[in-house]
Structure 1
Amino acid sequence: MSHFHGTGKRSAYFEGWYFKQTGEDGTAAFIPSFHIDEAGNRWASMQIITQEASFGLEFSNQDFHAAQSRFLVEIGMCRFSKSGCRLDAKAGEHSVTGILNFEERKKPRYDIMGPFALVPFMECRHKVISLHHKVSGQLSIDGKRYRFQQGLGYIEGDRGSSFPSEYLWTQCYWETGSIMLSIAKIPFAGRSFTGCVGFIYLNGKEYRLATYLGVKLIKVTKEEIQISQGGLQLAVRLIEEAAHPLKAPQGGSMGRIIHESPSCAVFYEVRKDGQVILEHYSQNAGFEWAMDG
């Protein structure tokens, strides 16, 4: 299995990875990415987002290296893998340094895309690398220290030509579990449909929610999302966002601006066969809304 898919690509392509971690001093997320624009130009970037701000750093194609046989990405002096990150980058007034170690990583049971992972020419393919893991180490971001003695983390990735034109995404973890949900407009065979992928990791068990498993979208607004699948129901309520701008891929380039709350207030409720199996309020939830309405 190839862990990096950009080798041999010629135009309009991106591949990026999202590392989020929360510790004693707050939340920090990193998005290392590889890009090819429609003219065939290649480069790499890294975006950093915290509760306070967001910023991005650009790198030449020569500064980017990715392994084929295992998940390992290097951009400049920064290194990203399933077992941890090493950060050492500076540009202008911005800087990030530090080392993080990941342990007790929980892998998804199978590809989050299910059978759609085999469909060619999709605009964007999503991947979950770690449902939940422990984080230790420390960082310095623009002079602020972030300690992770009992930290929690999550890793996902995307690749393709562009992010969906409309989508929402939310993610949350706590000591013994995690949730991710994404709903997006998916172009397919000249038309489009609304697709959904997500999971609930609870008490050591993964509950998968997806279009390919028959999920039903009951209510989708920015303030409240309700979905069901068989005897499982998930409700998500955005209490208070804290969004910062990020660049998103469009035709391989990073020409689109979206807004993400890496750490905001969200309430999650999960019912199974009518019984509440999870009620969780978090001030460290991630949330993005890029939908009409």
Structure 2
Amino acid sequence: MAKNYFEGWYYKHQFKDDTLICIPGIHDEEGVRRGFIQLVFRDQNRYLEFTEDEIGTVSDTCVELGKNIFTCYGIHLDNEWILADLSYGEFKPLRYDIMGPFVWLPRMECSHGVLSLYHNVYGRICWDNEEIKVDGIGYIEKDKGTSFPSEYCWFQSNAFNSEACVLFAMARIPYLGFKFWGHFAVVYDGVKEYRFATYLGAELLQCDKTHLRLKQGSYYLRIKVHFREGVPLKAPDAGSMKRIIHEAVMCEGEIWLYKKSELIFHECTPAASYEVCMND
């Protein structure tokens, strides 16, 4: 592993009125390799640290940190804050990499990947002496590089009345001395994947705390968010987990997707995740 590097996974589980988010990862700061898990549940968050000796297997399909294990089949959490055994159903992957041709560019500050848009989740959680039965849905993505973008916006939700997933991201990307804005969005309606992206000619019309709007060819996407203050999370900056960002985990949202004048997707969500890190 190179110095000043990070690699992190975002495991999201939504069930009934709850959302459990697990963010395992590793980072290297000036040659010192450490592991971490960030956990968010019921408006509480915890940051767990692991020494290099406590880091086990690390791959796209398995991450082991202490007694905690994250795989494509499910997760096992065993720490002082929460115990859990959750199993996953079949993953719904993207048709092709979310970064499109940008995936081939070397030395990107932050590369993004989506492992599963949608899958079933079932099992049990023991939290604060309460045993909770889980029968819900999941989502998994991954980031790697040296730092999170200095400015970005990210929205994601699976909490709909259908087997759907909506994802949006925009970031200011530095590359070879230049900076440019890149964006993408995916609407998966349970059958078909609709994708917007900079590399596909998508035009960003609006991006702020309450509205996200994109246009691409004959397609128009609008996302309205009822923004709320988020919980603090640590984020990488040159390999060090010293930056603080905030993620709102239970935002209400509404999504409209049009093809010309025809409304082809419309859903409301009570539990979207939303991060906005923009300079005024």
Give SS of 1:105's match.
coil
- Structure 1 pair 25–202 and aligned structure 2 pair: CA distance change class (3 A): closer
Give how far 1:144 is off. 4.5
Aligned: 1:148 with 2:119: no
Give how far 1:127 is off. 0.4
Give how far 1:242 is off. 4.4
Correspondence list, 1:150-169, <5 A: 151-169=136-154
Q: Which runs of 4+ in 1 moved over 6 A?
A: none
Which of 124, 127, 131 aligns to 2:117? It is 131
Q: Is the 8 A contact 2:227 2:248 kept in 1?
A: no
Unaligned runs of 5+ in 1: 1-8
- Structure 1 pair 145–213 and aligned structure 2 pair: CA distance change class (3 A): farther
Write the distance in 2 (CA, Å) between the matches of 1:240 and 1:33: 27
Correspondence list, 1:16-95, <5 A: 16-37=8-29, 39-68=30-59, 71-90=61-80, 95=81
Q: What amino acid sits opposite 1:18 in the alignment?
A: Y
Q: What amino acid sits opposite 1:156 in the alignment?
A: E
Give how far 1:273 is off. 2.1
| Other-structure match for 1:108 | 94
Give SS of 1:292's match.
coil
Which of 3, 21, 30 aligns to 1:11? It is 3
- Structure 1 pair 213–144 and aligned structure 2 pair: CA distance change class (3 A): farther
Aligned: 1:120 with 2:112: no
The alignment of Structure 1 onto Structure 2 pairs a total of residues equal to 278
Aligned: 1:274 with 2:266: no
Write the distance in 2 (CA, Å) between the matches of 1:256 and 1:56: 13
Write the distance in 2 (CA, Å) between the matches of 1:81 and 1:217: 35
Question: Deviation per CA, 1:122-170, whole angstroms, max 9, x where unpaired?
Answer: 0000000000011101112344444212x01100000000000000000
Write the distance in 1 (CA, Å) between the matches of 2:200 and 2:227: 31
Give SS of 1:43's match.
strand
Give how far 1:67 is off. 4.7
Q: What amino acid sits opposite 2:78 in the alignment?
A: D
Question: Deviation per CA, 1:169-215, whole angstroms, max 9, x where unpaired?
Answer: 00011331101110000001211011012211113111121111111
Give how far 1:234 is off. 1.1
* 27-36 vs 261-270, which moves further: 261-270
Write the distance in 1 (CA, Å) between the matches of 2:255 and 2:32: 42
Q: What amino acid sits opposite 2:133 in the alignment?
A: R
Q: Taking structure 2 as the reference length, what is the TM-score of the superposition?
A: 0.95
Write the distance in 2 (CA, Å) between the matches of 1:203 and 1:274: 22
Write the distance in 2 (CA, Å) between the matches of 1:165 and 1:28: 26
Give how far 1:66 is off. 2.6
Aligned: 1:215 with 2:202: yes
Q: What amino acid sits opposite 2:152 in the alignment?
A: Y
Write the distance in 2 (CA, Å) between the matches of 1:228 and 1:194: 15
Write the distance in 1 (CA, Å) between the matches of 2:84 and 2:62: 17
Q: What amino acid sits opposite 1:238 in the alignment?
A: V
Give how far 1:282 is off. 1.0
| Other-structure match for 1:264 | 251
Correspondence list, 1:192-203, <5 A: 192-203=179-190
Question: Deviation per CA, 1:44-67, whole angstroms, max 9, x where unpaired?
Answer: 000001232111100111111235
- What is the aligned-residue identity percentage? 37
- Structure 1 pair 213–145 and aligned structure 2 pair: CA distance change class (3 A): farther
CA RMSD, 1 decimal: 1.4
Write the distance in 2 (CA, Å) between the matches of 1:183 and 1:216: 11
